[in-house]
Amino acid sequence: MLVKDEAHEGSAELDLLALQLHSIQDNEKKTRTRISADSVALQRIEAGIEAMSNQILETQESISKQTVKLKARNKSKEQLEFRIAGREIPRQQDLVQSPRLGEEEYLIGLEVKGKRIGILLDTSASMTDEVLIDVIRRKNATDKEKKSGPKWQRTKEIITWFLARLPPESEFVVLGFGDKAVGLGKTGWSPAMDPVAIESVVQSLNDIVPEGAT
């Protein structure tokens, strides 16, 4: 009976050892699988890092090339500006002189054409300022303050610009309108090259007080 029990116990131990061995082998297999997967992932990460490094190098090379081109363009621009600054540009003699005439020509960029040119000028109170509250405030101001409104001053400069750019063979007339229409300067059409007619318009323009409704 003792021998039989020992044999039975030995068989149970072998079964247990076999089970443990199987478990160890299974864990080893899973570990190898994870290691293999991690190795593949690591290779992908390394490949991604290498690709990013190559992209960074290409970007740096592109920036370097663009920097060289930009320096060359800036140098060409400076040379061009230097040549332009040293070149005298002839200008026609204007019947109307204004310190901002050239600036206005550049800003507006218009060319005045036509045989008969009519200029309409709004002389109402709304021509004193851009903002409504400022227009209302200036309505109760003195005539001098109304005439000094920024919008009105700019309008006068624009009219002066037009008068200075009338085609030589044309005729012109300037009409102001507010509560009523009124001609500025001489009555009727005047030759564009008539300095007296133009001076008369400029004088009338300086005398106008922007007020009333449109």
Question: DSSP of 114-125, one letter per residue?
Answer: -SEEEEEEE-SG
Distance from the Cα of residue 157 to its chain's centroid: 26
Write down the pLDDT at residue 95: 52
Write down the pLDDT at residue 171: 93
Write down the pLDDT at residue 87: 64
Question: Which residues are 175's β-sheet partners?
Answer: 120, 183
CA distances (Å), 12 to each of 16, 26, 155, 174, in order?
Answer: 6, 21, 112, 122
**SS3 sequence, 11-54?**
HHHHHHHHHHHHHHHHHHHHHHHHHHHHHHHHHHHHHHHHHHHH
**Average pLDDT for runs of 10 along the chain of length 214:** 55 80 85 85 86 88 88 83 67 50 49 86 86 82 86 88 87 89 87 90 89 80
Question: Which residues are 172's β-sheet partners?
Answer: 117, 190
**Rounded Cα gap, residues 105 and 96, in angstroms:** 13
Instruction: Tell me the per-residue pLDDT of 70-104, one tens digit each, with 9 for 90 and over.
Output: 888 888 888 777 777 766 655 445 455 554 444 44
CA distances (Å), 110 to each of 81, 136, 143, 166, 167, in order?
Answer: 24, 32, 32, 11, 13
How many other C-beta atoms are found inside a 10 Å radius of the C-beta of residue 192? Answer: 21
Length of the chain as a residue count: 214
Write down the pLDDT at residue 8: 62
Instruction: Pick left, alpha or beta for residue 177 (phi over 0 → left; psi -120 to 50 → alpha; otherwise beta).
Output: beta
Write down the pLDDT at residue 101: 46
